[in-house]
Amino acid sequence: MKGLLKYLKEYKKESILAPVFKMLEASFELLVPLVIGAMINVGIANMDKNYILSMGGVLVFLGVIGLICSVTAQYYAAKAATGFAARLRYAMFTHIQAFSYEKLDTVGTSTLITRMTSDINQVQNGVNMFLRLFLRSPFIVIGAVIMAFYVDVKAALVFAVAIPILSIVVFGIVFANIPLYKKVQDRLDKVTLATRETLNGIRVIRAFRKEADEIQEFDEKNKTLTGIQLLAGRVSALLNPLTYVIINLALVVLLYTGAFRVDVGGIKQGDVVSLVNYMSQILVELVKLANLIVTLTKAMACASRIENVMQIEEGMGENVVQSDDNTSEINRCKTEMTDMSDDKTESQEAFVQFRNVSFTYKQASEEALSNMNFSVKKGQTIGIIGGTGSGKSTLVQLILRLYDVTKGSVMVKGKNVKDYDLDELRKMIGYVPQKAALFKGTIKDNICFGKPDASHDAIEEAISVAQAKEFIEKKEEGLDTPVEQGGRNLSGGQRQRLTIARALVRRPEILILDDSCSALDYATDAALRDGLSKLSYHPTVFLVSQRTISVQDADQIIVLDDGEIVGIGKHEVLLRECEVYREIYDSQYKEEVESHES
């Protein structure tokens, strides 16, 4: 929790004034039993109406002043707590935005969502209650005991016995609950994950009629969470009855002994009433304090979880890599193609170069990519093809430095990507991921997402090359057509074309299309590739696809199989000499012929 207190620094005034006004309220509240005692001992005993009315006026005055102090304290506590939570949430969101893909994979999306929402809300509630009650409740408990001794020392001995017993009960239950609340939050992560996965895959679940299985799985996780919550709730529920029993027993003893002493003249009736009021105040405040401690326990558990995320190092981790600059470019490819030589001249001309690159995902037992060696000249179009899980997307993500290589080096313009500032590196690259990601706004907002100041000509060129111009012009509002979150009001092909236009409008030096044409028909795909070849600024294009027809016109085609390069060359050469490429081509060609015949 200490690491999070820095977000409360801007609210020092509120953090001080809230408890101060609560202490003032408590001070006035401690005077009330004395006024009531005096009213009984003097006013009622002597039948002095004027005195009773004046003491009644004092009670009203104390009540009004106490109310003003309470409202003021509530205002400052709420302002400090909500401001603290807002700053913490912003800082956490900013921190998460700087995470590498590897860290996001490790932590998990559902966990981060829970930290950003439920956990921060719990911490906010804890701060609010702390400022309002943490000083007030102990102050009233201690103050009531002191005032009881001031009224009558012998009767106050009951307080001296009851308070330690109450403290043992309260803190014993609270400390027993701390680990339970941590388990509750951990189980909540799992329920959130199950909910998120189900919502994301709802179409697939319905298509395969797996609703019953998903409901059963969610029910099991939900029952586990409910069980732990019930256990924690039962332990917490012991607080109120136990404290009430102890306090009421103390009240019985106090009234019993007080009655005898009133008969013998050892104490006045008003003093007994004052002592009962102080005991009642202690009861109320101890119950509040118990509930406060439960709230703080939850807040501390959540704060610890938030701190764990905030302590994760931002950006890309430092990896120890081994590079070998003297290896040939493709001497480990199974087809032993030598279209790209490794002489010094070509190395100097290489715009993007993979040198002995291997990559392993964290906690994975095997390498996702092994011995990647190839170089690409500026302005070339490189096709990357292979079966599902062959490492195509992983390969292009290394260029962006979404992940760091495990071994070797990735060079862009003769410089290791690790030596680039990430902003500088990614400004050179236009990336279109496999899944088209659109944001709520307009079509123009989405196209200009990476370049808000894009000119009209740049936008027109981008949508024209991306084959999006035709369907945009058919919309009544054109570029100002609203786009729902995730592009739900657009078809799959329209979403893909807009994401391609978004990458093109930046006029990047390197354009990566990561299987981003899968929803396009062959004619649109061909028109897109033709448009890319006629771009005025000639970017270096990496075209990832599972269709041979999409990559067959590329300057070079890299064929991957199980994380290894098994062929590099042009379409015609690979058909003759690369078995993997030929199998992919034959399977797709036969499917296409059969579809035409049918």
Classified as helix, coil or strand, 540 is strand
Region 319-337 average pLDDT: 37
Q: How far apart are CA 313 and CA 494, in angstroms?
A: 38
**In terms of pLDDT, which residue wins out, 170 or 417?**
417
Q: CATH 3.40.50.300 occupies which residues in the chain?
A: 329-421+536-598
Region 451-465 average pLDDT: 89
In degrees rounded to 5, what are phi and psi of residue 407? -145, 145
Q: What is the distance of C-alpha 70 from the center of its chain?
A: 35
Q: How confident is the model at residue 511 (pLDDT cuts 50, 70, 90)?
A: very high
Tell me which DSSP letter residue 364 carries.
-
What is the distance in angstroms between the CA of the first residue and the CA of the last residue of the chain? Answer: 68
Domain at 329-421+536-598: CATH architecture: 3-Layer(aba) Sandwich (3.40)
Region of poorest pLDDT, from 115-119, 124-128, 428-432, 570-574? 115-119
Q: CATH 1.20.1560.10 occupies which residues in the chain?
A: 8-310
Cα→Cα distances 328→40, 333, 353, Å? 102, 11, 12
- Read off the pTM: 0.69
pLDDT tens string 159-187: 788 888 877 887 788 778 778 877 887 88
Cα→Cα distances 55→38, 39, 110, 148, 560, Å? 8, 6, 60, 20, 91
**In terms of pLDDT, which residue wins out, 267 or 392?**
392
pLDDT tens string 250-265: 888 888 887 877 777 7
- Token pair recorded at residue 586: 């034959």
The pLDDT value recorded for residue 87 is 92
Q: How far apart are CA 7 and CA 84, in angstroms?
A: 6
- Token pair recorded at residue 206: 């319905």
- Give the strand pairing for 540-545 and 510-514: parallel
Q: Which residues of 434-448 are buried (b: 16+ CB within 10 A; e: fewer)?
A: eebebeeebbbbbbb
- Token pair recorded at residue 321: 């890599």
Q: How confident is the model at residue 283 (pLDDT cuts 50, 70, 90)?
A: confident
Tell me which DSSP letter residue 479 carries.
G
The pLDDT value recorded for residue 596 is 43
169's CB contacts (< 8 A; 6+ apart) are 239, 242, 243, 246
pLDDT tens string 8-28: 888 889 999 999 999 898 888
The residue among 228, 9, 4 whose CA lies nearest residue 119 is 4
10 Å CB burial of residue 574 (0-12, 13-18, 19+) is buried
Domain at 8-310: CATH architecture: Up-down Bundle (1.20)
The residue among 291, 180, 185 whose CA lies nearest residue 232 is 180
